[in-house]
Amino acid sequence: MAKKRIVLTFPPTLVGQPITYHLVKDYDLMMNILRGVVTPNEKGQLVVELVGKQKALAEGINYLKSLGVETQSLAHDIKWHEDKCTHCTACIPTCPTQAMSVNRDTMEVSFIKEHCIACELCVSVCPFKALEIQF
């Protein structure tokens, strides 16, 4: 089981929608709400801890992003060490958000930090320790 603490920011159009229900039911995640401010017709913010399988966590967070919910990892960040990367592409299929991507013409790998949800799926597959969890 993996655990992730994130800040969720909901746009006004999504406040009142059964999003957390779907997260729990469809992705088999447990959710502990650590802090929250949700007002009808205004932006809402929740600080939550999600617990579940690593893959389910990544998919659940991706689901939130696809709806327009902003997600911000609370505990850590992922750093790509470009100097250690050999562009082997091993991380590409594991990344659910295409934060790690490859240019098919040049076969160069790149990292788009803004797309990264810090799911950590890529960290263990990188043979060259080019991806690091930062606390």
Task: Name the residues that contact ligand SF4, by CB under 6 A.
Answer: 78, 85-91, 94-95, 97, 99-100, 109, 116-122, 125-126, 128, 130-131
39 vs 89, beta carbon nearer ligand SF4: 89
Token pair for 104: 């098919």
Q: How far is the CB of 128 from ligand SF4 (least distance, A)?
A: 4
50 vs 109, beta carbon nearer ligand SF4: 109
- Label each residue of the chain as H, E or C: CEEEEEEEEECHHHCCCCHHHHHHHHHCCEEEEEEEECCCCCCEEEEEEEEECHHHHHHHHHHHHHHCCEEEECCCEEEECCCCCCCCCCCHHHCCCCCEEEECCCCEEEECHHHCCCCCCCHHHCCCCCEEEEC
Q: How far is the CB of 37 from ligand SF4 (least distance, A)?
A: 27
Q: How far is the CB of 95 from ligand SF4 (least distance, A)?
A: 3
33 vs 133, beta carbon nearer ligand SF4: 133
Q: How far is the CB of 40 from ligand SF4 (least distance, A)?
A: 32
48 vs 91, beta carbon nearer ligand SF4: 91
Closest CA to 27 of 52, 1, 2: 52
